[in-house]
Amino acid sequence: MAHKFINQIEAGQTIDDIYIARDPILRSTSRGDLYIAMFLCDRTGQLNGRMWQATETVYRMLPKPGFVHIQGRSELYQNNLQIIINNVSVVDPGNVQTDDFLARTKKDQKQMFAEVTQTVGQIKNAQLKALVEAFLADAGLMEKFCNAPAAMKMHHDCIGGLLEHVHNMLRVAVAILPYYPDVQADLVLAGILLHDIGKTEELAYDMAFSYTDSGQLIGHIVKSVAMINEKVRALRAGGTEIDPVLLDALTHIILSHHGQYEFGSPKLPATAEAFMVCYIDDLDAKINQVTGAIENETSDSNWTAWINSLQTRLYRKRIE
């Protein structure tokens, strides 16, 4: 039987299929009855799952995360779709077609990485070049960089999403930098490559997209700075000095690339290079989110459903 994807589910349907269970929590109702809340996921999205009249035994056997066979029904609750679970059983990952559950970039990862390497290879400043090459020479890290998602669900939330995001950003930067000769291109290119490098440690993606404990505690911005400082120490130990002023300028790009304090940015952009990286980052993330929402809308309407993160509905009709 073909898998029923999350984005194909409508209210009032019988559910008898395999999904990834993520973040199960055992809770009590106001009457003291136990129930389990969890997310049910595949490559197209996630829905809230609720199992009423649950037991601690069922809760303890659930993977965190992992594949489960769900029997139940879909319904609307406060205008949000959810799945009411009647029965749940654990499924061996070896019996699952994993491509149904973890989205993967549609672009060629090897080609994108080759183009990323070629683009940052244009960096002329010897110290920045040495730092970037130290990252590129770290084979284990680059394997993670090529496979990590760029986010849990906001944008480029797929295997290879981080690589695709950086690849897109570098292409935009190369296109617009000639119009801004006063902007230091080397800092922009290095900043784009490294601005999210900490996501290789912040996010887990072997079974489902989730935060590592370390990522949850520290976050990718701080992790990115720590990883840069680690490479700088190694370079200095090998006799390659990195100017502290240069390092501060690069670090500032990392610390300010979210653009606003309320978006988790420790600093606001204060250099031309930081502003450029911040806006290119936001542009690529937003366009990916918008085009993805339009593509994944299942209704025949010219408009998507309300998208809270964008604070709007999106117009889908193309002008030919």
Indicate whether 142 and 286 sit together in one domain. yes
The answer on pLDDT for 306 being more than 90 is: no
Among 5-19, 44-58, 89-103, 262-276, the range scoring the smallest mean pLDDT is 89-103
Indicate whether 184 and 250 sit together in one domain. yes
pLDDT in tens, 236-245: 999 999 999 9
Indicate whether 163 and 190 sit together in one domain. yes
- Check which CATH number belongs to the domain holding 153 and give it: 1.10.3210
Indicate whether 51 and 146 sit together in one domain. no
What pLDDT does residue 22 have? 85
Indicate whether 62 and 136 sit together in one domain. no
Indicate whether 179 and 85 sit together in one domain. no
Q: What mean pLDDT comes out for the span 102-126?
A: 94
pLDDT in tens, 237-277: 999 999 999 999 999 999 999 999 988 899 999 999 999 99
Instruction: Render 266-306 in DSSP notation, one character per residue.
Output: SS---SHHHHHHHHHHHHHHHHHHHHHHHHH--SSSSBPPP
Indicate whether 189 and 271 sit together in one domain. yes
The answer on pLDDT for 101 being more than 90 is: no
The answer on pLDDT for 136 being more than 90 is: yes
Judge contact between 51 and 13, C-beta under 8 A: no
Q: What mean pLDDT comes out for the span 183-194?
A: 98
In a domain, 19, yes or no: yes
What pLDDT does residue 207 have? 65
- Check which CATH number belongs to the domain holding 65 and give it: 2.40.50.140
User: Using N-to-C axis directions, what is the helix angle for 126-136 and 139-147, rounded to 10°?
Assistant: 80
Measured between alpha carbons, how far is 30 from 106 in angstroms, rounded to an integer?
46
In a domain, 285, yes or no: yes
Instruction: Render 62-91 in DSSP notation, one character per residue.
Output: S-SSEEEEEEEEEEEETTEEEEEEEEEEE-
Among 67-81, 122-136, 139-153, 204-218, the range scoring the smallest mean pLDDT is 204-218
More confident residue, 128 or 4: 128
Quote the number of domains for the chain.
2
What pLDDT does residue 58 have? 94
Q: Where a domain ends, among 70, 100, 130?
A: 100
- Give per-residue burial for 187-209: e unless 16+ CB within 10 Å, then b: bbbbbbbbbbbbbbbbbbbebbb
The answer on pLDDT for 301 being more than 90 is: no
The answer on pLDDT for 200 being more than 80 is: yes
Indicate whether 37 and 169 sit together in one domain. no
In a domain, 319, yes or no: no
Q: What is the SS3 assignment for 44? A: coil
* Amino acid (1-letter code) at residue 264: G
Indicate whether 143 and 255 sit together in one domain. yes
Indicate whether 73 and 147 sit together in one domain. no
* Cα angle: 148, vertex 258, 306; to 5 degrees: 80
What pLDDT does residue 1 have? 66
What pLDDT does residue 98 have? 74
What pLDDT does residue 89 have? 94
Judge contact between 253 and 271, C-beta under 8 A: yes
In a domain, 233, yes or no: yes
The answer on pLDDT for 119 being more than 80 is: yes
Q: Where a domain ends, among 54, 77, 100?
A: 100
Count Cβ atoms below 10 Å from residue 313 Cβ, excluding itself: 15
What pLDDT does residue 51 have? 96
Measured between alpha carbons, how far is 71 from 80 in angstroms, rounded to an integer?
19
Q: What mean pLDDT comes out for the span 191-211?
A: 86
What pLDDT does residue 152 have? 67
pLDDT in tens, 84-95: 999 999 998 878
In a domain, 312, yes or no: no
The answer on pLDDT for 83 being more than 70 is: yes
Measured between alpha carbons, how far is 36 from 51 in angstroms, rounded to an integer?
5
Q: Where a domain ends, among 100, 135, 159?
A: 100
The answer on pLDDT for 310 being more than 90 is: no
What pLDDT does residue 92 have? 87
The per-residue pLDDT of the chain, averaged, comes to: 92
Indicate whether 151 and 226 sit together in one domain. yes
pLDDT in tens, 162-178: 999 999 999 999 999 99
**Domain boundaries, position 85:** 6-100
The answer on pLDDT for 78 being more than 80 is: yes
What pLDDT does residue 142 have? 97
Q: What mean pLDDT comes out for the span 116-125?
A: 98
Q: What mean pLDDT comes out for the span 30-42?
A: 91
In a domain, 298, yes or no: no
In a domain, 316, yes or no: no
